[in-house]
Amino acid sequence: MKTAPHCLIALVVALGINTLVSPAAACTGIRLKPKDGSVIYARTLEFAANLQSNILVIPRNMAFTGTAPGDKAGIRWQTKYGMAGANAFNMAQISDGLNEKGLAVGIFYMPDYAQYQAVVADHVHQALAAWELPLYLLSNCATVQEAVAAARHVLVSDALLKGIDFVPTFHYVVHDAGGRCVVLEYIKGELKVHDNPLGVVTNAPTFDWHMTNLSNYINLSMNNVPSRHISGITISGLGQGSGMLGLPGDFTPPSRFVRAVAFAQSALAVATAQEGVLQAFHILNQFDIPKGAARGTENGKTMADYTMWTSVSDLKNHRYYFHTFDSRRIRMVDLNQMDLDAKEIKTFPMNEKEVIEDLSGKMK
């Protein structure tokens, strides 16, 4: 499936050109650190087609087999740690989640840049598919350091995703309860590990490009710009926010990356993890894509990315929170309350309709 940047999609729509392009997933991830020592990792999930996501709780000692090219069996492992998170296409896989040790891993789409590793016959036993890497890392690792070592132990292959029949191109963010964060990328068949001190991630291009691009926005500040006096005239900013004048507001990955850094770094420090969770949801409201604002066409059909769900992981208290496009009610799974020695995967449906409370009859 070919993809196109949102700026190109917008241009195509504006010009009315009947071109075969598809919107690319537009996910945004941030990290917050409340004063109580907790670490909050949060992200949005955008796509144009329903990903059929649900919340899974996967216990310890569950057996899994990776997928090698040609739908062959790859690496085999058992889950050492229990975990919770969201899946896609009803698969027994976690696309975004955390485990009982406070490690979090998330998939972020990176079209046109990710190129996975070659798998020769002698190394099929090390292979897994791109969508299986988060589950493998959450199964086996407690820290970012362990996750990087584990990623070097496996081969992420260009296996086809059944039902879609193409190779999804991802990069990955990894956070731990100690506050360290890295981004894992597969570039020209090699694993690249980028330290991520800001804890922010979006989509293409590569992470190092986004970090370099921040140099174009060093003028941004959370403080208003002071008035200036020119030839006897005082010129003042218009209202609040003059320090952020020039902050990019479109939906492209570079613009969202800059905006995510600006909002995460300017957020006032909160005292507790619970406050941090709510603060993260508020920040990510700034990245919601409404249906219709980012469009493309595929086989003559209009496709539009939108924010399907937003999740927040409390890495200290091992809680996974989320709300969805259809329901803004925040729901949560607490790993500490789950039976992580259970014999089967527990599934919680994400689909829920919005509940609007009618206060009319309660008015005094």
In the residue annotation, 27 being an active-site residue is answered as yes
β-strands 104-109, 96-99: how paired? antiparallel
Domain residue spans of the chain: 6-350
C-alpha distance across the termini of the chain, in Å: 57
- Tens of pLDDT, residue by residue over 147-159, are 999 999 999 999 9
pLDDT for residue 19: 31
* CA nearest to 283, candidates 257, 265, 263: 263
Is residue 71 classed exposed, middle or buried when 0-12, 13-18 and 19+ CB atoms within 10 A define those classes? exposed
Say yes or no to pLDDT of 125 above 70: yes
Which amino acid, one-letter code, is at 62? M
Q: pTM above 0.85?
A: yes
Strands of 83-86's sheet in order across: 190-195, 181-187, 170-175, 104-109, 96-99, 83-86, 54-58, 346-349
- Tens of pLDDT, residue by residue over 270-310, are 999 999 999 999 999 999 999 999 988 878 888 899 999 99
Q: How many C-beta atoms surround the C-beta of residue 80 within 10 A?
A: 15
Say yes or no to pLDDT of 4 above 50: no
Question: Distance between CA 328 and CA 213 in Å, rounded?
Answer: 33
CATH of domain 6-350: 3.60.60.10
Is residue 150 classed exposed, middle or buried when 0-12, 13-18 and 19+ CB atoms within 10 A define those classes? middle
- Mean pLDDT over 40-48 rounds to 96
Q: Catalytic residue among 7, 27, 141, 181, which?
A: 27
* CA nearest to 151, candidates 75, 85, 64, 82: 75
Q: Name residues whose C-beta falls within 8 Å of residue 274's C-beta, 6 or more positions apart in sequence.
A: none
pLDDT for residue 26: 87
